[in-house]
Amino acid sequence: MSRFSTLGALSLVLLLAGCGGGGGGNNSVATNLTGSPVQGIAQGPTNMGTDMTAIILETGEFYNITSAGGLALLVDQGTLSSLSYAYSGTATEYTVATNATQTNGIISGQFIPQSAITGTTVYNVYNVNLTQYTTFSATYLATDMTPASLAALAGSYVAPYYFGGPSVTMTISSGGSITGTNGSCTISGTATPRASGINVFNVSLTLGGTGCVPSGVGSASGVAALITPSSGGNRLYVATLNSAASAGFFWIGDRQ
C-alpha cells in the first residue's frame, strides 16, 4: 500500500456539495448532542480504494479505521478541534497487522454536522523526506444518533484479525461482559454505553496467554461501535490502545 507524495502535491479541494444527502446520512443538525459538533460515526471511501470508518467522540478524540473487505488495515487516532465547519488535529497511525506506528500526523478537513465529512491525513514517512497522505469523503450514519444499547450489542462476532491472520471470536453479554479468543490467546473485558447520546461504547480488554496477535498489547481501552454496512448484516468495530499508546487491538467482527 504505497501512499507516497511530496507536500507540494497535497493541494486538495474538499467538496462538501453533494455529500450531504445520500448514504443514509441525516441532513438536520442534531440538538441532543453534547460536546464537539464534529462528533459521530461516518463511513465513506478513501483515495486508495479502501473504506474509512470514522468514530469521533464528543471530546474530539477520534479513531479513523481504514479497511478493505471488512478487515481493518490502518487506524489513525488522535484529537480534533473544530471551528465552524472546519476541523484539524494531530494523529498517530497504527498498522493493524504489526502495530507499527507513525507519529506526528496531521489531519484536517471540513464537515457538515451529522451530514458529511471530508478530510486528509498527512504523515512524514519513517522520518525521511517523503510524505504519505490519505483523503476521504464520508457520510454520517443516521444510526449514530441512537443511544448505545447493550441489548443491541449483545451477541457473538467472528472474523480474522487481518487478512491471513488468526481468527478472532468475541461474545458480548447483555450485561456488557466480553469473552473471546484471538488464536491461542484469550480475550476478556467489558463494554459500557457512552453517555454522549451517540451509538458508541467504552471498551476495556485484556489479552492473555501466549500467541496474542498483535503482541505487546496486554490491557487496552478504547471504543466500539456496531454498524450495519451497505452489504447488510452487522459489524462490530473495535479500536483500543494500551496505557502507553504503543500498541493496540483493532478489529472488525461480523455478527453471527
- Are 141 and 41 in contact by the 8 Å Cβ rule? The answer is yes
- Whether 151 and 139 map to the same domain: the answer is no
* pLDDT per residue as tens digits for the range 169-228: 999 999 999 999 998 899 999 999 998 878 999 999 999 988 898 888 999 999 999 998
Mark whether 116 and 211 lie in a shared domain. no
Cβ neighbors of 163 (< 8 A, separation 6 or more) are: 69, 71
Beta strands 235-241; 116-125: pairing state: unpaired
Length reported for the chain: 256
Instruction: Report the distance separating Cα 164 and Cα 106, nearest Å.
Output: 31
168 pLDDT above the threshold of 70: yes
* CA geometry: angle 152, 156, 158, nearest 5 deg: 125
Q: Are residues 122 and 226 in the same domain?
A: no
pTM (two decimals): 0.85
Average pLDDT of the chain to the nearest whole number: 84
Q: Which three cell numbers stand for residue 122?
A: 498527512
> Which grid cell is 204?
476495556
- pLDDT number for residue 196: 83
| Residue 121 banded pLDDT, cuts 50, 70, 90 | very high
The reply to whether 137 and 218 lie within a common domain is no
Kindly state whether residues 115 and 175 are assigned to the same domain.
no
Coil, strand or helix at 204: strand
Is-contact 22 206, C-beta < 8 A? no
The C-alpha atoms of residue 136 and residue 45 are separated, in whole angstroms, by 6
Q: Are residues 138 and 151 in the same domain?
A: no
